[in-house]
Structure 1
Amino acid sequence: MLIARAAAVLVTIALLLGAAADAPIGRLAPVQWRMAWSAPADDPKWAFKVTLSSASEQVLALADETQVRVLNARTGRSVRTLYPPGHPVTGVWVTSGTVFVLTGEVSDGEQRLQAYDAATGATLWQRTVALLSQERVPDTGRYFGPRIVVTERGVVLAERESEPLTLLSLDPRSGAAVARTVYERHCDLTAAGAHSLLLLDYCAGNRIRLSSVDPSTLRTEWSRTMPSPALRFPDPVKLGDPNGHTLTVSGDGYVEIGDAFYAPDGRRLPTPHETPRTGGSAGGGPWSEPLYLRSADPGISFLPTWPLPAFLTSLDLRTGRLHSLPLDVPSGAATLVGTAPGKAFVLLGTGRVAAYTLTYGIPTGRELFDGVPLDAWPDACGLLSAADLRPIADGYTPAPATPALFGERLPHPPQCDWIPPTDDAPVVSLAVEWVSSSSATARRIFATETADLKQSLAYDAATEGPYLLDYLGLTATGSSGAPEAVVSAGPVIVRLASTSRPALRLVAPLVRDELLARYRLARHTPAPLPRLRWSFPTDGHLMGAPTVNGDTVYAAGGGRVYAMDAATGRLWWSRAISDYVSGPMQFAGDLVYAEDPISLHALDARTGRPRWRYSSQDLVYHFLATRGRIILCAGSEIIALDAATGRRLWRFRTAGSCAGSRLVQAGGTVYMDDGAGTVHALDLATGRRRWSVRTGTDEAAGTWVTPVGKVVYVAGADRRIRALDAATGAERWSTRLGGALTSAPLAAGAAVYVRSADYKVHALDARTGRKRWTALTSVIDPALGLTVGQDHLYVVTATGIVSAFDTSTGVERWSTPMGGVIVVGPVAHKGVVYVSTQGGTVHALDEATGARKWRMLTGDAPESGSIIGNTLTYANGLIYTGGGGNVYALRP
């Protein structure tokens, strides 16, 4: 059994118990994997790869944190659901008609292993187990194998012991301990299993040893040694293996370690140096059960691979060659979770599990390409022309590339880089990712790929359609922000990449239309997004709200600052200033200001030309632009700069770090909390401290300051809200509330509103501090504020609910669930309340009733956290927001 971690939070596992497929007859050979069925997999986030087989009843087990679903592996139909005691479910295995379930976190010290009869669902036994929780056993070496290895002959546990490593074997049907052994060698060790337990150990400077162990007795059946290989390239994905190579075991017991292959009896098979590996289905002996799913060109693990499909790979038992055939699923959205002779189970990125069967036929030599003739692959350079790229720059030239697929070279270049005439224009790269045997297969691969991309990456919702998805891929550092697009029409799938998203927005539809014309399909224009006035694609994630100054919208994304016409979205200018630009930007006079982690940049608001730059030795946390001054918080200092020149005017050192402080300006005073429980009022012109007031403890979660006219309202860490005289800091009133305060005071009319951590929202008299009312809510999101509009106070909860309370009485007037975590809002304007939910959906609610008026997707990934760029700004009669790397202007 081979167990490999695929993702986090939920658990899924699959294991097929079944009879062998019919052997090929005459010239017949494996030619294709065909999907037999697919079923929902409850959106699992964990996957365990298991390769075991048996001649008994076929079953498939899928699990989330609380339950295990048992399916008929021949049909995909649900047989029963198991509800094991204890939580969460952290592992599931099936063998010999038994379903094994592990519950509890390994960090808790003890977990529960339970066994169920697969046919009846009856509990056979349960046992408390203490499993190894750390990779390193003191003075013994590192252990990288699974904590539980399930085989038909025994269940082997890596026990939690101080030293050395102890292995325990249990009888699968009774759970009784039948054998125990101590691993004495002081070497790195990994493990896998099928019918036997395979142990691979490596001592520095010594030879590698591969041993087969009887799972029921823990006695060695055979042992083989091989020279210690020199690592040609370190692969962080393979650091869990003693020698830097993967240990892979097929369901029928064939082993791959590095470049060596072994039969279940320990017999060494020919190596690739003796019989080169191929990807086709040439004649020869029978194949093993699938060893693994892989991409044709692994490349770097976090970058897209070429070509697009996953390839299911088996071993030719006569020649020792590896044979690969493509599946109708992208390699990035597939995990092999179970095998049997001639069958494989694959977990798809769409939250489904699929069963594939191996079909036989007369080989043609094109099986590696899904049976498609090689000359059917289009010339990548022929899908665009220099004329197509002329709106970007005149003089683009193609540079074709001819990569090989498992050694097979295509007659036409499948990849092409379009090189611009000057360095300031972007390169546009195009790759023919795959040509399927049918348009239906290509649509299925494209749909799976785009669904997977939209679950994890930001995308352009304004151009998305049935043939095109423009998105922000992964950069060379593994972060998101590389502009890419995937296009499919007919049987062809193409991927484009560039440093410029506006360039991709121009050329991707041209490639789409070229393919539609080639295959005589109708041209397609995506339907406009509701309420959309215009959108502009930046080259990366937006950082902060789009900022409006007069007739211009400014935004920061992908290390650049953009200036756009507020009415049309036309780009006035863009300027690259840093690898990372945070926002939002601010203005003073004819300058616009933006910050990176250690610097503040002043740009000409009309042209984008740099005027000055101030760099700090400490991190720049935030800044204010006001009255000819730039007030910034860096490290533990408040620094004032001349807005026109960047010259430093004064500085004020705080007791705590600026990371937890907030700057607020009103009149000629700057108010700030120092992150250590004290509020300071500083003279804007000189930096002189006018007064300081202690409001909490050094361990305080935070302090909020709201100046309004001659009064400064302070929500302190000591659970008090205070009204201070703006000129002197003298306390006008102070009111203690029940829980820690979790929002800035909101002054509206004659009242001040504030939230507290005990699930309450409070209204106080602004003049006296007397409590007007207190309302109980569900858990309030501490990251979001309060908003008043149309006699209602709007509150957002951590469970994704917008609630409206009567400002006079505190009575809840309405409550509307948004169906997801709210990350921005509420913003109230002219009878409408706006919020954004995780994944970049903007919602508009009626202020009076909470009824939904409309919603719009902006393209942020559902699995992303609170996207900073997904924010709302109202100006010029439009709502400006960001999502998926785009700036949107919406009609309110």
Structure 2
Amino acid sequence: MDNPRPGLHGRGKVLIARAATVLVTVALLLSTAADAPGDRLAPVQWRMAWSAPADGDAGGMNPEFDVLLHGASEQVLAMATGVHSVRVHDARTGRLVRIQHMSSAPVAGVWVTSGTVVVLTGKQDDGEQWLQAFDAATGATLWRRAVNLLSQERVPGTGHYSGPRVVVTERGIVIVERQFEPLTLLSLDPRSGTAGARTVHERHCDLTAAGARSMLLLLDYCAGNRMRLSSVDPSTLRTEWRRTMPSPALTFPNPRQIGDAYSLDLTVSGDGYAAAGDAFYAPDGRRLPIPREAPRAAGSAGGSQWSEPLYLNGEPEGFDMSIQSLPAFLTSLDMDTRRLRSLPLDVPSGTTTLVGTAPGKAFVLLGTGRIAAYILTYGIPTGRELFDGVPLDAWPDACGLLSAADLRPIADGYTPSPATPTRFGQRLPHPAQCDWIPPTDDAPVVSLAVEWVSSSNATARRIYAIETTGIKQTLAYDATTEDPYLLDYLRPTATGSSGAPETVVNAGPVIVRLVSTSRSALRLLAPLVRDRLLARYRLARPAPTPPPHLRWSSPTDGHLQGAPTVSGDAVYAAGGGRVYAMDASSGRLRWSRAISDYVSGPLQSAGDLVYAGDSGTTLHALDTRTGRSRWRYSLDPSPDLGFHFLATRGRVILCAGSDIIGLHASTGRRLWRFRTGGSCAWSRPRQAGGTVYIDDHAGAVHALDPATGRPRWSVRTGADERASPWVTPAGKTVYVAGADRRVRALDTATGAQRWSTRLGAALTFAPLPAGATVYVRSADYEVHALDARTGRKRWSAPTSVIEPALGLTVGQDRLYVVTSAGIISAFDTATGAERWSAPMGADIILGPVVHRGVVYVSTDGGVVHALDGATGARRWRMNTGDALGNDAISGNALTHANSLLYTGGGGNVYALHP
């Protein structure tokens, strides 16, 4: 038996210990996400490295030239800032390097290549644009030259071009121009700007283009032939390879046709991999056998190599990504497995745009107005990368977040209908979506979807915060029920005339969305879902904090159309194609009635009827107690610009086109018709002292008997036919302001002119009589005070008003005027001296309204402001949730009645304590 040599046993222990240390180190490296790929590592996550504010266009694109407003490389990120400058950041750290000021023309496009920043300035309709370049490191200007880019207008008899007008690569800049016929491609040197090769495209062929870092791809189609994908040298414009494919109708799942031309879809990654419809190509032109299927996660640990991201989420159009979750996903081509690969980002998809890539990097424009730089990290894949690494059993049961008892206040007998519990081709333990089906057709369906479960509460909060920020910037939402975990809003419909009620909820790592046709149902159910999730993750329930001046709010199922109408103890409103009746004191819904897809406002009430117009063709009369339809009057033919009406107890006066029609208020029977000399589509009938007054587009004012329609008098004001005069009856006088720069006072009985005063510009609003003075506003931005008896000018005051459609309001001894987009001013009614001026911080879109010494205005974003009428000091403000004026309210949308202030916004009707 052999004996071991002395000392070998001890040295073996050392070797074993060292080997164990190495193995532990390797295991630790493989168990964490490394920043560089290894032999057994695969991409597992996109990690945000930094973000910076982006002041340019929120969509990241200039639609005039179909070019990006941001450019990126491994070293530099450049973006359009404001109008006339470009901001340059270090792409690795996000550090601001410089702000480069350009010419006086607006920045229209930005690119980065080979240490050079290329900038397009100018507008399409200016007839001339400029390309210029500066050194990314020093900021020194390299060159500047005038260009004439192809416009978006298609010339008859030529093919359609649907790609960017400028493509910047490391080997050359290619511009698409049309100085003369036909379409021409011109190559420029990136560092010197000198012109190189030029080629003419075939006249009758459709074309699109896209660029990678070192190549230009052209996709064209000539009628009757096959499509061709060509790789072109950007410096010489010579074809390097060409591949053919079937016609667009066969290649693209949903081909878009513009007249007799096709809009061709071509997507190229920064490293040259291309996607055209169903086909994928390598940079050398090889057709890649990539199946058209849902993207997969990283897969097995095989050191797979991915292309730079091709697109974000569902692009290109028509490609079935089968991803319906909330986060944004970046999708690449896996060169080893020949499959699409996707990984989620920690931001939502709806307002996110991919604006640039570099090896292992992606630059994403967020809906919050920031650009984020992401780095692709590597690790050992687990198969859950598409789920942000979350175990599948962590996804809650969508049907378990509500019960039939929860829905019983809406209707008894709701049953859950779970969707197939699969996501990204993997089966979940529980359904991620559940539709609650009502027992009858008149009750609303409620859908609940678990949209995402993040790896941490913080990641979910980030996604939710960006998602809700985008919603509040662009959509109508319910500001009174919003809390840190819940937001109720209206998603735009396909027609754009209304809105679809939705609620998004975030608690812990879970984000849930509820959808229904009934906003009241969502207002009831969403807090229950929120509270169950908060209890599941042991989080505190929020304490409700209603606005202090809110008496009540009542939801409608769509955007409000017109101001709420108060009549007696009821408030009427139109939204989502329905008319609603609410208790004026409590907001309790009395009834709602579906009218049509669109209800024009404002509503009017007289006697026991409330009147509403639909889509400019039919007037509806509804019973104020039950909402039941009493009669309808349809216009045939329907007027091009809709109609206006005036409801009284005995008559309804309808103005449509050049016809004024009198209807019986109780039956809708037509009693008479009066034809004007011009259209009255922009006029609203007014009644005073038993006479109806209407002005028309031919510059005439008519006084009619409401019972018979017979004219008591008609007077031409001398205004041209381009604009109607403005008419205000008051006592025994009718005041008329016309486009002929004159204000007239007419006798209500005879139409005889009492006085006429000429001003320096056309009048922009109806005269406002108040006591012994008549106030008017003219197109030269002046407010005038005229003696009501003689027409003599008492004083004039310049206002610099930007929005002339807003009215004038008098309260006590003050005249309140919106003097610029975001400023309201008060003038002394006796002298015209300005007493105070108050900036609101945003454009004023409604008001002013004055009541008991308080002035109210509403600003862009749906904020109601209450100001002290004597000093302009702000008393209070409240957000109504109407982000961008989505609730189409015309006229005066702030109404005082029953000691409350009624208004609308965000699809809700509000009653405020004034």
Give the TM-score, by structure 2 length: 0.92
Greater shift, 370-379 or 238-247, is seen at 238-247
SS of the equivalent of 2:435 reads: strand
Give the structure 2 partner of residue 28 of structure 1.
41
2:778 aligned with 1:753: no
- Give CA deviations for 1:572-605 in whole Å, capped at 9, x if unaligned: 1111122211222222221111111211111111
Distance in 2 separating the partners of 1:838 and 1:731: 41
Structure 1 counterpart of 2:400, from 382, 389, 402: 382
2:574 aligned with 1:552: no
Structure 1 counterpart of 2:810, from 774, 785, 788: 788
- Give CA deviations for 1:793-832 in whole Å, capped at 9, x if unaligned: 0111342210100000000001111111111100000110
* CA displacement at 1:280 relative to structure 2: 3.8
* CA displacement at 1:52 relative to structure 2: 12
Which letter maps to 2:283?
P
1:106-145 matches, within 5 Å, as 106-134=124-152, 136-145=154-163
Distance in 2 separating the partners of 1:241 and 1:452: 37
2:326 aligned with 1:308: yes
Contact 1:143 1:189 in 2 (8 A): yes
2:225 aligned with 1:206: yes
Give the structure 1 partner of residue 50 of structure 2.
37
2:271 aligned with 1:258: no
Distance in 1 separating the partners of 2:255 and 2:692: 49
Pair 422,56 (structure 1): closer, same or farther in 2 beyond 3 Å: closer
Distance in 2 separating the partners of 1:183 and 1:616: 53
1:687-702 matches, within 5 Å, as 687-702=709-724
2:910 aligned with 1:888: yes
Pair 240,379 (structure 1): closer, same or farther in 2 beyond 3 Å: farther
Greater shift, 401-410 or 588-597, is seen at 401-410
SS of the equivalent of 1:333 reads: coil
* CA displacement at 1:208 relative to structure 2: 1.4
Greater shift, 117-126 or 772-781, is seen at 772-781
Contact 1:880 1:890 in 2 (8 A): yes
Distance in 2 separating the partners of 1:730 and 1:419: 67
Structure 1 counterpart of 2:245, from 199, 215, 226: 226
Pair 818,866 (structure 1): closer, same or farther in 2 beyond 3 Å: farther
Distance in 1 separating the partners of 2:895 and 2:836: 25
1:651-662 matches, within 5 Å, as 651-662=673-684
2:839 aligned with 1:817: yes
2:582 aligned with 1:564: yes
Distance in 1 separating the partners of 2:254 and 2:459: 33
Give the structure 2 partner of residue 5 of structure 1.
none
Pair 234,278 (structure 1): closer, same or farther in 2 beyond 3 Å: closer
* CA displacement at 1:525 relative to structure 2: 3.3
Distance in 1 separating the partners of 2:635 and 2:260: 44
Contact 2:215 2:272 in 1 (8 A): yes
SS of the equivalent of 1:191 reads: strand
Which letter maps to 1:265?
D
Pair 258,456 (structure 1): closer, same or farther in 2 beyond 3 Å: same
2:180 aligned with 1:162: yes
Give the structure 2 partner of residue 13 of structure 1.
none
2:309 aligned with 1:290: yes
- Give CA deviations for 1:353-379 in whole Å, capped at 9, x if unaligned: 101111111010000110011111111
Which letter maps to 1:205?
G
Contact 1:670 1:681 in 2 (8 A): yes
SS of the equivalent of 1:505 reads: helix
Give the structure 2 partner of residue 73 of structure 1.
91
* CA displacement at 1:211 relative to structure 2: 0.7
Give the structure 1 partner of residue 387 of structure 2.
369
Distance in 2 separating the partners of 1:246 and 1:813: 60
- Give CA deviations for 1:191-222 in whole Å, capped at 9, x if unaligned: 00111111111123321111111111111111
1:513-552 matches, within 5 Å, as 513-552=531-570
SS of the equivalent of 1:421 reads: coil
Pair 216,241 (structure 1): closer, same or farther in 2 beyond 3 Å: farther
Contact 2:173 2:190 in 1 (8 A): yes
1:768-847 matches, within 5 Å, as 768-847=790-869
2:763 aligned with 1:741: yes
Distance in 1 separating the partners of 2:594 and 2:891: 18
* CA displacement at 1:656 relative to structure 2: 1.6
2:359 aligned with 1:341: yes
Contact 2:75 2:92 in 1 (8 A): no
Structure 1 counterpart of 2:607, from 565, 589, 593: 589
Structure 2 counterpart of 1:407, from 425, 430, 433: 425
Contact 2:489 2:501 in 1 (8 A): yes
Contact 2:807 2:847 in 1 (8 A): yes
Distance in 2 separating the partners of 1:431 and 1:554: 34
Give the structure 2 partner of residue 634 of structure 1.
656
Distance in 2 separating the partners of 1:664 and 1:300: 56
Give the structure 1 partner of residue 702 of structure 2.
680
Which letter maps to 1:36?
A
Give the structure 2 partner of residue 3 of structure 1.
none
* CA displacement at 1:232 relative to structure 2: 8.3
Give the structure 2 partner of residue 712 of structure 1.
734
Contact 2:301 2:380 in 1 (8 A): no
Give the structure 2 partner of residue 602 of structure 1.
621
Greater shift, 689-698 or 629-638, is seen at 689-698
Give the structure 2 partner of residue 7 of structure 1.
none
* CA displacement at 1:185 relative to structure 2: 5.8
* CA displacement at 1:506 relative to structure 2: 0.3
2:111 aligned with 1:93: yes
Give the structure 1 partner of residue 646 of structure 2.
624
- Give CA deviations for 1:457-502 in whole Å, capped at 9, x if unaligned: 1001111111001000122435541000100101000000000000
Which letter maps to 1:795?
V
Give the TM-score, by structure 1 length: 0.94
- Give CA deviations for 1:525-556 in whole Å, capped at 9, x if unaligned: 33112300100000011111111111111111
Pair 387,121 (structure 1): closer, same or farther in 2 beyond 3 Å: same
Distance in 1 separating the partners of 2:189 and 2:318: 43
Which letter maps to 1:101?
V
Contact 1:56 1:97 in 2 (8 A): no
* CA displacement at 1:22 relative to structure 2: 6.4
Gaps of 5+ in 2: 1-33, 62-66
* CA displacement at 1:259 relative to structure 2: 2.4
Contact 1:542 1:869 in 2 (8 A): no
Which letter maps to 1:671?
Y
Give the structure 1 partner of residue 517 of structure 2.
499
SS of the equivalent of 2:709 reads: coil
Give the structure 2 partner of residue 267 of structure 1.
286
* CA displacement at 1:279 relative to structure 2: 3.9
Distance in 2 separating the partners of 1:232 and 1:318: 25
Which letter maps to 1:190?
T
Which letter maps to 2:111?
W
Aligned residue pairs total 870
SS of the equivalent of 2:458 reads: helix
Q: Matched residues, percent identical?
A: 75
- Give CA deviations for 1:48-75 in whole Å, capped at 9, x if unaligned: 4779999873343343322111111111
Which letter maps to 1:613?
R
- Give CA deviations for 1:649-668 in whole Å, capped at 9, x if unaligned: 11101122221223111111
Pair 352,276 (structure 1): closer, same or farther in 2 beyond 3 Å: closer
Pair 244,408 (structure 1): closer, same or farther in 2 beyond 3 Å: farther
Pair 675,300 (structure 1): closer, same or farther in 2 beyond 3 Å: farther
Pair 814,866 (structure 1): closer, same or farther in 2 beyond 3 Å: farther
Contact 1:178 1:216 in 2 (8 A): yes
Distance in 2 separating the partners of 1:888 and 1:39: 38
1:1-20 matches, within 5 Å, as none
Distance in 2 separating the partners of 1:517 and 1:237: 49
SS of the equivalent of 2:685 reads: strand
Distance in 2 separating the partners of 1:527 and 1:238: 52
Distance in 1 separating the partners of 2:447 and 2:678: 49
Pair 238,473 (structure 1): closer, same or farther in 2 beyond 3 Å: farther
* CA displacement at 1:136 relative to structure 2: 3.2
Tell me which structure has the larger Cα radius of gyration: 2
2:693 aligned with 1:671: yes
Structure 1 counterpart of 2:503, from 475, 480, 485: 485
Contact 2:73 2:91 in 1 (8 A): no
Pair 278,239 (structure 1): closer, same or farther in 2 beyond 3 Å: farther
